[in-house]
Structure 1
Amino acid sequence: MKFTSLLVGGALALGMATGAMAQDDKAKVGFIYVGPIGDGGYTFEHDQARKAVVEKFGDKVETTYVESVPEGPDAERVMTQMALNGADLIFATSFGFMDATVNTAKKFPDVKFEHATGYKTAPNLAIYNARFYEGRAIQGLIAGEMTESNIVGYIGSYPIPEVIRGMNSAFIHARKVNPDVQFKIVWAYTWFDPAKEADAAKVLIEQGADVILQHTDSTAPLAAAEAAGNVIGFGQASDMGEYADGPRVTSIIDNWAPYYIERVNAVIDGTWETSDTWAGIGDGMVEIGEITDRVPAEVKAEALELKDKIASGEYHPYTGPLNKQDGTPWLAEGEIADDQTLLGMDFFVEGITAEMPK
C-alpha cells in the first residue's frame, strides 16, 4: 500500500485539481499530541514529521501543536480551538483521540481532519496507521535468540488491538527461533509516564526477564534495563539512540514525515480527500534502526533477512499455522490473516499465558 499518492496522483497528472489554495494563502495545519515532544519516542517522531512539513513548504504553511493532551473531552476542546483559529488541516495523533476527532469534524465540515491509528472516517476525516507489528516481528526474533533466561518482558500501554497485535507478532517470532521462550506482560495503562514505565520494567526484570519490549513512549524502560546491567531492550517509535552503546540493540522508528508532507500538499493543491492508509516497512512508514554489535552477527543477518522478506511482501508476520490462546485453530498452514481481523485483534495467540484484561 503506497500512501494516498496512489489515490490522487492521477488527478494531479491530468491537471484536474480543484479548490487549490491561493498562492498567497498559507495552509494552517494543527497537530495534537498525547505526550510531550521531548518524550524521545512516539510524540517526538510526530513532531519531527511536523518539522519536516515546515522544511518542505516554508512560508506556504503555518503549523501549530499542542502537546500532552489527555485522551477524552479535552482533546475535542483543543481541536475546536484550532479550527476556530483557522486551521485547514488537523492531525490527531493518538488512538484515544478518535471520538473527539469525529465530533470535531462534524462541527467543522470545511476543516480536514486526520486521525492516527483509529478506524472511524467521514468525508472530512481520514485515518492513517503504521503496521507496527511488522517491526515487532523483527524484535521478537532478536529477543528469542538473545534471551538467556527464556523470559521476555513486555510493557503494554492499553489492551487495544494495536498493542495486542504487536505482542502477538513479537511472541510468534520469538517462539519460531526459541520454543522455550515465555512472555511476561505488565500493563502500564498509559502511553507516557516514565515513573510507571520504569516500575513496570523493574517488575519484569525481577521476574527474570533479560529482554524488555515496550509499547509505551518514554526511554524509562531502557534506563531500567541499563541499570540492571544484563538486560537488553529496544527503541520504541524512535531510535532512542542514546542507549545504543548500552541495552538498546535496535529500534522501531515511526517515519510519519512522507505521509504528512503528502497530505499537507493535497490540502494546498485542493486534492485532499478522505482515505484509509495502513503502511509498513515496505512503504517506509515503519523503519528498523541500526542493529548494534551486541547482537550476534548470525542473529543480525536473520533479522535483516526477515525485514527484507516483510518489506517485499514475500512474508507476512501473521502466516499460519497459528492457534488462538485457548488452542482453537485460527490460521491454517500458509493462511494469512486478513486486515480486518488484525485491526480488531482482541485475543492472544497460543503460548502466551497472560490473561487478557477485561
Structure 2
Amino acid sequence: MFKLTKRRLLSAATFAAASLAIPASFAQDSGAKDKVKAAFVYVGPVGDFGWTYAHDEARKCMVEQLGDKVETTFVENVAEGPDSERVIRQLAQDGADIVFTTSFGFMNPTIKVAKQFPDVKFEHATGYQTGSDNMSLYNAKFYQGRAVLGTIAGKMSESGKAGYIASFPIPEVVMGINAFTLAAKKVNPDFETQVVWVNSWYDPAKEADAANALLSQGADVITQHTDSPAPLQAAEKAGAIAFGQASDMSSFAPNAHMTAIVDDWCPYYVKRVEAVLDGSWEADNVWLGMADGEVVMSPFSDKMPEDVKEAAQKVYDDTKAGTYEVFTGPITDQSGEVRVPEGETLSEEDLLKMDWYVEGVKS
C-alpha cells in the first residue's frame, strides 16, 4: 500500500496480522556480560528536536544510569535501504552486543543482518516483522498523548479549528489525527481538524509553510506529526497555540507551546541493555504507552488556564490508570457511518490497521 520508508507500513492489514503472529517472546541462550556495547542507528540528525533527538536523549540517559557497564555508539542521518544495511552490518562487525535500529524503514535490513549475526541482539523500533530469535520489536502508543493535546485544543481554541501537519497517511499517523480530534470533540462537538500532508518526517521549510497555510485558513491551534520545531515557531508568530513533537520544544515557542508528547525511550533501553548484561535478554514484541512510562507529557504551560490543565491532567491520569480510552464508542467516521458502537473500544489490532478518519477531520 505504501512505499517503505521511515516508520511506514507496507500494508496496514499486513502490519496488524504480522504483529499478532509474532510470539510474545523467544528464549535465547546468552551468558551474562560485565559490559555491553550498544549501538544506535538514526534516520535523522540528533539535532532534529523530534524523533531522533528523543532516541538520542534516551541513549544518553541510559549511559547515565548504567555508567561503565555500557559503551554506546550511534550513526545519524542513515538513509533507508542499502545504506542502512551497510551501517547495521558494520556495527555488528565492530563488536556491538546489541543494535537498536530506530526507523521503520530499517526493518528489512535489520532482519537480513540479524540472520548473519546470531550472537548479536537487534532491536527494531516500530516494525512488524522479525526473521530470527535474536531480533526484537518495540513501539509506543503515541496516540494516547494525542488525546491529551486534543483535550487542550478543544478547550482553548476560539475558532474551533486546528491545523494538523502530518507526515504520511499510515496507521500511526491516522490514529494520532483521530485521537486528537475525538478528544477535542468531547469538549467542543463542532471542533474540526484540517490536515495538511507534507510527505516528510523532517523538512522545516515544508512544515513552516504548512503551518502558515493552516493559520491563514482560520486555525488557531497547530499540532504536528513531523519532527522539526518550525510549526511551533509559525504558531508563535501568529499568536496561536501549538504542541511539541517527541520532546519538550517550549524553548522554540515559549508563548505558543502548551505541552508536548515526550517519547521516553530511556526506561526501555535501560531494561534491554540490563537484560544483555545479566544474560536474560529475550526477543519480544511490545507496544508500550503511558502506563509503562514510555509516553509522557512535558510540563503544561503556565499560559494554560487552570481548568484546562485539570482536564488535560485527568485524561493523562485516567489513561495511565487504564480507565480512559479515547477510542471508545460511539465513534462516527467522515461519512457518518458508526465505526465503533457505544460502549465498545477499538482493539489494538484495529488500531494498527486504521485507514479511516473520524467525523471532524478534514483531510
Question: Which runs of 5 or more residues in structure 2 are unaligned?
Answer: 1-23
State the Cα deviation string for residues 274-321 of structure 1 (Å, max 9, x = none).
111111112111111111122211111111111111110011111011
Q: Verify: 1:99 aligned to 2:108, yes or no.
A: yes
The 8 Å contact of residues 244 and 250 in structure 1, kept in 2 or not, is answered as no
Q: 1:55/1:250 Cα in 2 relative to 1: closer, same or farther (>3 Å)?
A: same
Q: Verify: 1:31 aligned to 2:40, yes or no.
A: yes
Residue 179 of structure 2 aligns with an amino acid whose one-letter code is S
1:331 paired residue among 320, 340, 343 = 340
Q: Out of 30-39 and 255-264, give the one that drifted further.
A: 30-39
1:274 paired residue among 266, 283, 286 = 283
1:211 aligns to what? Answer: 221
What is the 5 A alignment of 1:35-184? 35-121=44-130, 122-184=132-194
Report deviation, 1:166. Answer: 0.5
Residue 20 of structure 1 aligns with an amino acid whose one-letter code is G
Rounded Cα–Cα distance in structure 1 between residues aligned with 2:189 and 2:105? 36
State the Cα deviation string for residues 20-52 of structure 1 (Å, max 9, x = none).
2443xx311110111111111221111111112
Q: Verify: 1:234 aligned to 2:243, yes or no.
A: yes
Rounded Cα–Cα distance in structure 2 between residues aligned with 1:214 and 1:71? 23
Report deviation, 1:148. Answer: 1.4
Residue 121 of structure 2 aligns with an amino acid whose one-letter code is K
State the Cα deviation string for residues 231-282 of structure 1 (Å, max 9, x = none).
1101110011304631101111111101000001111111111111111112
1:275 is paired with a residue whose SS is: strand
1:57 is paired with a residue whose SS is: helix
Q: 1:226/1:311 Cα in 2 relative to 1: closer, same or farther (>3 Å)?
A: same
2:292 is paired with a residue whose SS is: coil
Residue 138 of structure 1 aligns with an amino acid whose one-letter code is V
Residue 29 of structure 1 aligns with an amino acid whose one-letter code is A
Residue 83 of structure 1 aligns with an amino acid whose one-letter code is A
1:90 is paired with a residue whose SS is: strand
Rounded Cα–Cα distance in structure 1 between residues aligned with 2:192 and 2:83? 39
State the superposition RMSD in angstroms. 1.8
1:3 aligns to what? Answer: none
State the Cα deviation string for residues 118-154 of structure 1 (Å, max 9, x = none).
1113411111111110000010011111111221000
The 8 Å contact of residues 93 and 116 in structure 1, kept in 2 or not, is answered as yes
The 8 Å contact of residues 33 and 278 in structure 2, kept in 1 or not, is answered as no
Residue 301 of structure 1 aligns with an amino acid whose one-letter code is E
Residue 292 of structure 1 aligns with an amino acid whose one-letter code is S
TM-score, normalised by the number of residues in structure 2: 0.89
1:353 aligns to what? Answer: 362
Equivalenced residues, count? 338
Q: Verify: 1:312 aligned to 2:332, yes or no.
A: no
Rounded Cα–Cα distance in structure 2 between residues aligned with 1:206 and 1:109? 55
1:19 aligns to what? Answer: 30
1:301 aligns to what? Answer: 310
Residue 167 of structure 1 aligns with an amino acid whose one-letter code is I
Rounded Cα–Cα distance in structure 2 between residues aligned with 1:234 and 1:134? 14
Residue 74 of structure 1 aligns with an amino acid whose one-letter code is D
Report deviation, 1:332. Answer: 1.2
The 8 Å contact of residues 236 and 253 in structure 2, kept in 1 or not, is answered as no
1:113 is paired with a residue whose SS is: strand
Q: Verify: 1:245 aligned to 2:281, yes or no.
A: no
Rounded Cα–Cα distance in structure 2 between residues aligned with 1:244 and 1:198? 13
